[in-house]
A = this chain, B = another copy of it.
Amino acid sequence: MVQDQNLRVLLARRPTGAPTPEDFSIVSDAVSAPAPGDVLVQNLFLSLDPYMRGRMNDAKSYVPPIQIGEVMGGGAVGRVIRSESPDFAQGDIVEGLLGWQQFAVAKAKLLRKIDPTLAPVSTALGVLGMPGLTAYFGLLDLGKPVPTDTVVVSAASGAVGSLVGQIAKRLGCRTVGVVGSADKAQYITDELGYDAAINYRTAGNLRKEIRAAAPDGVNVYFDNVGGPVTDAVFENLAQRARIVICGQISQYNSTEQELGPRNLSRILVTRSRIEGFIVFDYADRYPQGLKDLSGWLANGEIKYKEDIVKGLENAPAAFIGLLEGKNFGKLLVQIAD
């Protein structure tokens, strides 16, 4: 084994509003030994994702909260360094909920084996992992885009949004992305093929900017953000619009319930549909999604961008920045080479 100490990031206290470095503690423990059926994994890349903010609260949600003093949860890709399972051998690359730590002991049956010859292993946390599957099933199953549709995506340069736009474009839709910087606006139009980009931080009147970019109305809205961006999109819905609620990052750090315009009258007159999306519900169809995404990636139909921070000790600051939109591309922490 390379080392016998395991650096780990724990939840030190529950954040009030935006998380601060003091909400996390970094400890060094002895590496545990795997029991029969388990494997010991050295983490290579840790995924940082907005949903983690919800798990820091003591609130019932679709996953239980992280307890104080527990390791922060999260998806990671790592290398098997000791296996007590016939399903994995030393050296195998695996992906699973391995947490914010250098080493993890995990049940073999909860791990997915990754073929490192197909694509960089980090993509198992992005385009060929949870964010990719989220974009794929959320857009296709709930958004149900057809070629004449205008598809609007919030957080359009992010891990999920960047793929939603590309998959919609591939189908022939008009694609409009809402982002938080000029660089991101340029990136999504120049690199990802979005037809239009709106920088919500500098937009004068978001409603009008969306109307200009989607003059026939918004047929599909893939929402990662919520708040005023979403309010403005609701004012531009076409008849029978489909709204996929995938994330509401603008609300995650709120300490009190923010008020907004009531939008249900607009849903009524447009006969639109709003639906909440959680990718876990599609687990039995992941193979289909990964097959399509891998194919599109291999033939150059979709691109991805990673924002890699080095060193597990930098994970808290990177995560705090993620919630402020400071990352540019899929945010990863590289834990080992």
Other-chain contact of A258, B54, B245, B262 (Cβ < 8 Å): B262
**Cβ contacts under 8 Å, A278 to chain B:** 268-269, 271
Question: Within 8 Å of chain B (Cβ to Cβ): is A187?
Answer: no
**Given contacts A226-B262, A262-B227, is CB(A267)–CB(B274) below 8 Å?**
yes
Complex Cα distance, B330 from A286, in Å, reads: 50
The residue among A245, A251, A272, A277 with the most chain B CB atoms within 10 A of its own CB is A245
**Cβ contacts under 8 Å, A251 to chain B:** 262, 265
**Cβ contacts under 8 Å, A258 to chain B:** 261-262
**Given contacts A259-B260, A274-B264, is CB(A269)–CB(B62) below 8 Å?**
yes
Other-chain contact of A273, B227, B264, B275 (Cβ < 8 Å): B275
Complex Cα distance, B227 from A264, in Å, reads: 9
Query: A234 to chain B: closest CB distance in Å?
Result: 10
B275 contacts A248, CB within 8 Å?
no
Complex Cα distance, B261 from A267, in Å, reads: 16
The closest CB in chain B to the CB of A248 belongs to B265
Query: A227 to chain B: closest CB distance in Å?
Result: 7
Contact with B along A243-260 (1 / 0, CB 8 A): 001111001000001111
**Cβ contacts under 8 Å, A277 to chain B:** 268, 271
Question: Within 8 Å of chain B (Cβ to Cβ): is A28?
Answer: no
Question: Within 8 Å of chain B (Cβ to Cβ): is A337?
Answer: no
**Given contacts A273-B274, A275-B273, is CB(A262)–CB(B257) below 8 Å?**
yes
Query: A177 to chain B: closest CB distance in Å?
Result: 19
**Cβ contacts under 8 Å, A157 to chain B:** none
Question: Within 8 Å of chain B (Cβ to Cβ): is A149?
Answer: no
Measured CB to CB, the residues of A under 8 A from B are 54, 61-62, 223, 226-227, 230, 245-248, 251, 257-262, 264-265, 267-278, 281
Q: What are 9 A-B pairs at a CB distance below 8 A? A: A54-B269, A61-B269, A248-B262, A259-B259, A260-B262, A269-B276, A269-B278, A271-B278, A273-B275
